[in-house]
Amino acid sequence: MAHLFIFIFGLAIGSFLNVVIFRLGKSKLILFGRSKCPKCGKILNWRDLAPLVSFVWQKGRCHYCGKKISWQYPIVEGTTGLLFLLIFSLDFAQSKNFISLIYYLAIISFLIIIFVYDLKHYLIPDKIVYPAIIATFLFCLLGANPLNQILSAFLAGAFFLSLVLLSKGEWMGLGDVKLAFLMGLFLGWPMILTALLLSFFSGAAVGMFLIVLGKKKMKSEIPFGPFLTGSTILVFLFEPFFQSVFQNFIIF
């Protein structure tokens, strides 16, 4: 029952994250106002907003105007539910620390927003990354080795800032610097290095794949935030696996 509850809770949070992503892009108040269909403007009721269920029941279309609903909504909802379930199973089942569970769920939610928003708008929103940094900093002060995480954050941020300065903003943006700082605070050393390597490898692989398919050109812009956030989530969830994979390349 606990696993079922945390999954349903994750679906509900995922639905809220979709609202945050949409309203950030429209410069609307996040916590106020009824949800509306983006196509016809009709105010949605609870039957239209049930995570995953409404999308399936309405066959991916608005109940009022019949226009297609973006696949972003069920994907974000389902992904959030699964990630919440994984965190509950892998972390809370061992530590039984309710405070750390809430913290990890919150940070993962921040990372999901950044992932989707940067993928859509090529921008990492300050309204999300700054609260995430503050929350992570406060939590790391309660940990056993906060200096490790703080130094990791400054090293990761400084590395990305050097790339921004060297390329004059063509390779990276300042949003990536802030996100790298958050990653360092969250993961600490040496896992921040693992996450950065994974993000660069995956970014290069996806970029080359898109070029081969003709979807992108060599000079096309590809948002790097999704690779950074995705790598952070994977390394956090499966730290022992990535330690074994990269142990020949990283000095632990």
Please check the confidence at residue 251 and state whether its pLDDT lies above 60. no
**pLDDT at res. 235:** 94
| Banded model confidence at residue 248, pLDDT cuts 50, 70, 90 | low
Which structural domain, as residue segments, surrounds residue 204?
Answer: 142-252
**pLDDT at res. 16:** 92
Question: Structurally, how many domains does the chain consist of?
Answer: 1
Domain-embedded: residue 52: no
Domain-embedded: residue 122: no
Domain-embedded: residue 45: no
Asked if residues 44 and 52 have their Cβ atoms less than 8 Å apart, the reply is no
Domain-embedded: residue 102: no
Please write the tens of the pLDDT for every residue from 79-91. 999 999 999 988 7
Q: Rounded to whole angstroms, how far apart are CA atoms 71 and 69? A: 6
Q: Rounded to whole angstroms, how far apart are CA atoms 117 and 18? A: 10
Asked if residues 128 and 24 have their Cβ atoms less than 8 Å apart, the reply is yes
Domain-embedded: residue 26: no
Separation in Å, CA 38 to CA 34, 44, 54, 118, 142: 12, 10, 16, 20, 43
Residue type at 245 in one-letter notation = V
Q: What integer is the mean pLDDT of 213-219? A: 64
Between 37-51, 63-77, 191-205, the lowest mean confidence (pLDDT) is in 37-51
Domain-embedded: residue 211: yes
Cβ burial of 155 (10 Å; 0-12, 13-18, 19+) is: middle
Give me the count of residues in the chain. Answer: 252
Please write the tens of the pLDDT for every residue from 11-35. 999 999 998 998 886 766 666 667 7
Domain-embedded: residue 49: no
**pLDDT at res. 32:** 66
Q: Rounded to whole angstroms, how far apart are CA atoms 144 and 94? A: 17
**CA distance from start to end of the chain:** 39
**pLDDT at res. 252:** 45
Domain-embedded: residue 157: yes
**pLDDT at res. 247:** 62
Percent of the chain with pLDDT strictly greater than 70: 88
3-state secondary structure string across the chain? CHHHHHHHHHHHHHHHHHHHHHHHHCCCCCCCCCCECCCCCCECCHHHHCCCHHHHHCCCECCCCCCECCCHHHHHHHHHHHHHHHHHHHHHHHHCCHHHHHHHHHHHHHHHHHHHHHHHHCCCCHHHHHHHHHHHHHHHCCCCCHHHHHHHHHHHHHHHHHHHHHHCCCCCCHHHHHHHHHHHHHHCCCHHHHHHHHHHHHHHHHHHHHHHHCCCCCCCCCCCHHHHHHHHHHHHHCHHHHHHHCCCCCCC
**pLDDT at res. 221:** 72
Q: What integer is the mean pLDDT of 40-60? A: 77
Asked if residues 123 and 117 have their Cβ atoms less than 8 Å apart, the reply is yes
Higher-pLDDT residue of 68, 106: 106
Mean pLDDT of all residues in the chain? 85
Please write the tens of the pLDDT for every residue from 120-178. 989 999 999 999 999 999 998 987 788 999 999 999 999 999 999 998 877 788 999 99
